Structure 1
Amino acid sequence: MSSFDVVIIGSGPGGYVSAIRCAQLGFKTAIVEKYNSLGGTCLNVGCIPSKALLSSSHHYAEIAHFADHGIEVSGDVKINLEKMIARKQAVVDQTVGGINYLMDKNKITVFNGLGSFVDATHIAIAKADGTSETIEAKYTVIATGSKPSSLPFIKIDKERIITSTEALALKEVPKHLVIIGGGVIGIELGQVYLRLGAQVSVVEFMDRIIPGMDGALSKELTKVLKKQGMKFYVSHKVKSVERNGDAVVVQAENAKGETITLEGDYSLVSVGRRPYTDGLNADKAGVKISDRGQVEVNDHLQTNVPNIYAIGDVVRGAMLAHKAEEEGVMVAEILAGQKPHIDYNLIPGVVYTWPEVAAVGQTEEQLKAAGIAYKSGSFPFKALGRARASADLDGFVKILADEKTDEVLGVHMIGARTADLIAEAVTAMEFKASAEDISRMSHAHPTFAEAVKEAALAATENRALHV
């Protein structure tokens, strides 16, 4: 029987990063992956393929504005969806190949098969060929991730009523895509197919899209996407989803009890994700699972069984790849006797639409609910020379700072390149920067980053320079 210091079950961003860090710290490490492809949801059917399609569809959408730049395109511009999907898959394959390389480089043993606990120190691996193997682990890290959620009355057939997984590999552009759920995944994939010519309707139970983010970001993104042609039905509860041949009929009800009926050829069910522990047999190891299906952990990501830890989507907190990575590193370093720490308030969230949406820290709604006195400063991208030069005028940067101390409490952005710009805010908040600190830092001109400086100036005695 093979024996290891650390065994990680699941090879998503949290799992494979944890394995690498464990190996770097001198642990004999193994990773167990149910599928033949490493990388988990993120690399295979999540973050990476969706960004590939967002990039391809963005290029297509940009062609409509080439004439404004003095670029004349003659002849018909056509979409080859099959080739676009093939490119997406090539990006995925290359990225997964990179993970295989990293496993080899760090001398991490990879087992392909369903990993399940025999007891607290032994893991059985059921392989695709019907054989099985049992390995021994001094420590185990559960990193089994999440799967798309649904509603009890919806039958997902993976043909016309689909999840995000199927939406990444459609063989045709929908005529009318009805999206159930206005969160990050639904909005991103909705914009992909909106750009490619589909009519897109979004039904959201809450009173706004991306409801977990600052209300100002939701309002601006809604405005921009409506301008692009997306339709929204917020504050609507879906009552039924029925397939009739190649048609899907969605019925939803608003707060007044009024019913709407939307008929499309595809319906994307995007109502969140659930922790995935199917087949793990956590009970055989004595590991507690909460009523919400999450593996219960303490502040050190340790389960109730001392030698078993859990990270990523399968535990509490935001379901974000970079959150899982940080947790994977944290567990490895705890096992090595170090004292790492994660400030969950400083883990950014991003929506990869165009304009991009990014945020870190507290929202205005959260500060108001907590009774924290704050000041706010905003700056619109349309006032930037760089934004005018590239015609990326939508959006703004908003900085929230403590009214007394001026410490930055939250930064909320929507606009071009904000997925990258948010790192500046994370860095500033990590070092407890004040709005004035950011306002006094030199930002290259002309850049989109100048909006961060200007928003900081706006939050500091309302003295933005360019508005």
Structure 2
Amino acid sequence: MEKLHFDVATLGGGPGATPGAQLLARAGKKVAIIEQGEGLGGTCLFEGCIPSKIFLETASRLHALTQDAEFGITGAQCEGIDLPRLRQRKAEILAARVQGANQSCSHLGITMIHGTADFASPHVLRVHRTGLEDLLVEADFLLVSPGSTSSTLHIVGAEDPQIWTSADALRMDLIPSTLTIIGGGYIGCELATLFSRFGTKVHILEAAPRLLLTEDPGISQTLAQFWQQQNAGIAVDLNVDIQAIRHISEDRWELNYQDSEGNFHNLESQRVLMAVGRKPNTSGLSFDKAGLSLGTHGEVPVNDFYQTQVPHIYAPGDANGRIMLAHAATRQAQLAALHLLGRVTSPTPLVVPHVIFTAPEIAAVGADSRSLTEHPQWRLVRWNYAQDARARIVGDLSGFAQLVWDPTSRELKGLQVMGKGAGEMVEEATYVLTHQGTVDSMVQTIHPHPTLNEVVSELAGFTVAEA
């Protein structure tokens, strides 16, 4: 069996591996990337954030037709959704991303190895290649980043392989007339937005007392109210206990569940989507042969440099179970590489923003209203989109932004935005939080007019003026 030796090898070619591999190659290391998928990019590119945003863009443009009259446009209409063209557009975007990553890695002299891998020993990965003999890849250092996979519920019928995961839904083979989504987290809510705008009647079943349990409670409440007021075609049941999922016929599913008052219901739909979170994709990799033990949820335990208990093995990205976001994985991979090179010796807490591409869009970074219980000296301040010129121009009068700050130190502690452009507006606060900046610095920064970013500067100015 052939054996190749490298300074560094990565298990995986997604955001938790490739950025670190590229940094190490630039530093002169001999690097290999082992990837089993269609190309470099990982779950985010092929099954998650990129495909969903491609389809959500189409859904947004479709929805905009319903608002044309408000902007003085008459007669615009949609004749239908061209699913083959939509899938083709997705394929073209993904191919362009893969080509760019491949060219970058090739230019850096990184060796690409296609296949599935598991540990043969602490320094050796066995790569299983279709139609070829297995290959042994030995490395002085390893970045193990196998990503994550969809979680499921342990209830009757949940094992049926025809229940959609988010990856199944994003193949976009079908726009169902009715869809039941199990789970009201960010994945479930984004896909509810997508399919409802494509004309599907969506019903979300959530075990928790509110949608988006990880978000500020006010955000969750506003989203539910907005969907109801706008007749978005999304029904929501909270505090439910799902008893069973039954596949009655090809296009007919039934869910049996109990509501918060103890009443039992049978809910039928054309398709069922399981969106109850993600878990580290660490099974079957023989971590024991590397001297590694997994955590209770299958995660790989790491320190603040994403280094495992075996010092030459790092595990950035979803595999460590800390923050399952592509941009967090990218930074973790870079920090792991810098630590491997000896360039980073002091841990730096990551300030990680996130965006939920629902309608309305949601973005957040840092502390929210829940932090006020632990820090009663902090303050929450809110500013409505309706007070901003650009927001009125684009037609969003219901959006808002809120910040949390410490009036004594004047430090910004967090920002949440809900409305058009939210994802683009949270970056300024991320920078300020990363550098322990103040709300005053946001006021002193000139923001171009008229832009939605003025909502943030107006909020900061109001905060300081009212202090």
TM-score (norm 1): 0.95
Structure 1 equivalent of residue 37 of structure 2 = 35
2:62·2:78 contact (CA, 8 Å) conserved in 1?
A: no
Q: CA offsets, 1:397-445, max 9 Å, x none?
A: 1010014222111111111111111111101112222223322322222
Q: What do you get for the CA RMSD once the two structures are aligned?
A: 1.7
User: What letter is aligned with 1:312?
Assistant: G
Inter-partner Cα distance in structure 2 for 1:239 and 1:107: 54
User: What letter is aligned with 2:158?
Assistant: K
User: What letter is aligned with 2:222?
Assistant: E
Inter-partner Cα distance in structure 2 for 1:405 and 1:258: 51
Inter-partner Cα distance in structure 1 for 2:376 and 2:403: 15
Structure 2 equivalent of residue 327 of structure 1 = 332
Inter-partner Cα distance in structure 1 for 2:76 and 2:29: 60
Structure 1 position 280, deviation (Å): 1.2
Q: CA offsets, 1:227-251, max 9 Å, x none?
A: 2231111122222111110211122
Of 247, 262, 266, which aligns to 1:261? 266
* 1:407 lines up with 2:407 in the alignment: no
Seen in structure 2, the aligned counterparts of structure 1 residues 187 and 343 have a Cα distance that, compared at 3 Å, is farther
Secondary structure (helix, strand or coil) at the match of 1:72 reads coil
* 1:362 lines up with 2:373 in the alignment: no
Secondary structure (helix, strand or coil) at the match of 1:318 reads coil
Structure 1 position 117, deviation (Å): 0.9
Structure 1 position 165, deviation (Å): 0.6
Secondary structure (helix, strand or coil) at the match of 2:276 reads coil
User: What letter is aligned with 2:328?
Assistant: K
Structure 2 equivalent of residue 69 of structure 1 = 71
Structure 1 position 372, deviation (Å): 4.2
Secondary structure (helix, strand or coil) at the match of 2:466 reads coil
* 1:250 lines up with 2:259 in the alignment: no
Of 155, 160, 167, which aligns to 2:158? 155
2:412·2:436 contact (CA, 8 Å) conserved in 1?
A: yes
Structure 1 equivalent of residue 295 of structure 2 = 290
Inter-partner Cα distance in structure 2 for 1:289 and 1:446: 51
Structure 2 equivalent of residue 236 of structure 1 = 240
User: What letter is aligned with 1:124?
Assistant: R
Unaligned runs of 5+ in 2: none
Secondary structure (helix, strand or coil) at the match of 2:289 reads helix
Secondary structure (helix, strand or coil) at the match of 1:425 reads helix
Q: CA offsets, 1:314-333, max 9 Å, x none?
A: 10312000110001000111
Structure 2 equivalent of residue 338 of structure 1 = 343
Secondary structure (helix, strand or coil) at the match of 2:426 reads helix
Does 305-314 or 233-242 show the bigger shift?
233-242
Of 376, 384, 390, which aligns to 1:386? 390
Structure 2 equivalent of residue 458 of structure 1 = 462
2:119·2:289 contact (CA, 8 Å) conserved in 1?
A: yes
1:367·1:374 contact (CA, 8 Å) conserved in 2?
A: yes
2:279·2:321 contact (CA, 8 Å) conserved in 1?
A: no
Does 306-315 or 67-76 show the bigger shift?
67-76
Of 442, 455, 458, which aligns to 2:446? 442
Inter-partner Cα distance in structure 2 for 1:23 and 1:158: 41
Structure 2 equivalent of residue 123 of structure 1 = 125
Seen in structure 2, the aligned counterparts of structure 1 residues 14 and 76 have a Cα distance that, compared at 3 Å, is closer
Structure 2 equivalent of residue 164 of structure 1 = 166
1:34·1:113 contact (CA, 8 Å) conserved in 2?
A: yes
Secondary structure (helix, strand or coil) at the match of 1:87 reads helix
Structure 1 equivalent of residue 182 of structure 2 = 180
User: What letter is aligned with 1:254?
Assistant: D
1:292-311 correspondence runs (5 A)? 292-311=297-316
Seen in structure 2, the aligned counterparts of structure 1 residues 65 and 296 have a Cα distance that, compared at 3 Å, is same
1:29·1:109 contact (CA, 8 Å) conserved in 2?
A: yes
Structure 2 equivalent of residue 350 of structure 1 = 355
Secondary structure (helix, strand or coil) at the match of 1:151 reads coil
Inter-partner Cα distance in structure 2 for 1:258 and 1:146: 35
TM-score (norm 2): 0.95
Structure 1 position 37, deviation (Å): 2.3
User: What letter is aligned with 2:285?
Assistant: L
Structure 1 position 130, deviation (Å): 4.9
2:248·2:254 contact (CA, 8 Å) conserved in 1?
A: yes
Structure 1 position 20, deviation (Å): 0.8
Secondary structure (helix, strand or coil) at the match of 1:128 reads coil
User: What letter is aligned with 1:308?
Assistant: I
Q: CA offsets, 1:199-245, max 9 Å, x none?
A: 01111111111110111211222222232231111122222111110
Inter-partner Cα distance in structure 2 for 1:41 and 1:297: 21
Does 147-156 or 287-296 show the bigger shift?
147-156
User: What letter is aligned with 1:155?
Assistant: A
User: What letter is aligned with 1:55?
Assistant: E
